Amino acid sequence: MLQIACFDTGFHHAMPAIASHLALPRTLSDRGFRRYGFHGLSYEYIALRLRELDPILAQGRVLAAHLGNGASMCAMRGGVSIDTTMGFTALDGLMMGTRTGSIDPGVVVHLQLQEGFSAGEVESLLYRQSGLLGVSGVSSDMRALHASADPHAAEAIELFVWSAARQASALIGSLEGLDGIIFTAGIGENDPIIRAAICARLAWAGVRLDEGANVSGADVISRSDSDVTVRVIPTDEERMIAMHTSNLLEHEQGTDS
Ligand SMILES: Nc1ncnc2c1ncn2[C@@H]1O[C@H](COP(=O)(O)OP(=O)(O)O)[C@@H](O)[C@H]1O
Ligand SMILES: CC(=O)OP(=O)(O)O
Ligand SMILES: [Mg+2]
């Protein structure tokens, strides 16, 4: 039976070598220890859709923010990924629902050597017990955090925003400037409070949000005098999988006949 796999890393494959290199010894980098990046199917869809909605912006320097349970950002130039926040695994970069995002790797070493954590316990801590859930002690779900009166919930939201803006700022550095931001996935598509808070921390890059458009869920949520166009585009990873599958099947049929 024919089986088809669509890799979530594929879109980032053309990243410059410098953006995919980890500063590890050659013996490890030669064996594939590098930054791969994830949410590639989502970013590929965003790049395609942006080309339809705003072809001029699609040619420019765009920061795409996939904020769901897993959260990452992608720096795109002309619709091509040039840098992204996830790396060898989907653990790096932004703070997420239950994952830490970037933390000092020394914490991992210390937990194992000084605190007696097993490798499995560390894995569970980093992937499933941290992030919004770990910091709030309430929930990994952004809606539940907004609804909670617990000050730790507010602290988790603040840290999520700070982490996102910090990662965004690094990608703006890779892009050497910024023409547009695209928000997508569960939080990015539906949460005007988080979008506004991240954009406020990116005012230094020329981002000016239209509060009314942001709250009403418009497609374009930046002000007309903003240097940076901010859009919300619902992602569709399943459509990309269907498209790749259909293209492959057509190719298969073409080579059969
Ligand atoms: N209306 C909403 N307002 C705020 N957050 C939302 C809303 N709808 C979904 N979310 C948040 O989106 C996140 C899930 O995103 P989603 O893209 O569905 O995740 P997954 O990575 O599992 O596909 C959760 O934190 C959820 O609270
Ligand atoms: C790659 C990744 O984090 O996926 P998800 O957002 O589905 O957790
Ligand atoms: Mg998802």
Write down all domains in the chain, each with its CATH number in brackets. 20-94+151-256 (3.30.420.40)
Taking only the tens place, the pLDDT of each residue in 151-198 is: 999 999 999 999 999 999 999 999 999 999 999 999 999 999 999 999
Checking if the pLDDT of 51 tops 80, the result is yes
Ligand number with the minimum distance to the CA of 141? 1
Using a 10 angstrom Cβ sphere, with 0-12 exposed, 13-18 middle and 19 or more buried, the burial of residue 25 is: exposed
Nearest C-alpha neighbor of 157 from the set 200, 193, 182, 124: 193
For position 1, what pLDDT does the model report? 85
Checking if the pLDDT of 80 tops 90, the result is yes
Is 256 part of the annotated catalytic residue set? no
Ligand 1 pocket (Cβ < 6 Å) reads 68-70, 97, 141-143, 185-187, 190-191
- Region 71-89: mean pLDDT is 98
Spatial strand order of the sheet with 180-184 comes to: 80-84, 71-77, 61-67, 180-184, 229-232
For position 257, what pLDDT does the model report? 53
Q: Are 183 and 191 in contact (CB under 8 A)?
A: no
pLDDT band at 46 (very low <50, low <70, confident <90, very high): very high
Checking if the pLDDT of 17 tops 60, the result is yes
Q: Indicate which atom in ligand 2 lies nearest the CA of residue 66.
A: 6
Element (H, E) at 175: helix 151-175
For position 229, what pLDDT does the model report? 98
For position 171, what pLDDT does the model report? 98
**131 in ligand 2 pocket by Cβ < 6 Å?**
no
Taking only the tens place, the pLDDT of each residue in 110-163 is: 999 999 999 999 999 999 999 999 999 999 999 999 999 999 999 999 999 999
Ligand number with the minimum distance to the CA of 39? 2
**Is 190 known to sit in a ligand binding site?**
yes
Of all protein residues, the one whose alpha carbon is nearest to atom 5 of ligand 2 is 70
Q: What is the ipTM of this complex?
A: 0.96
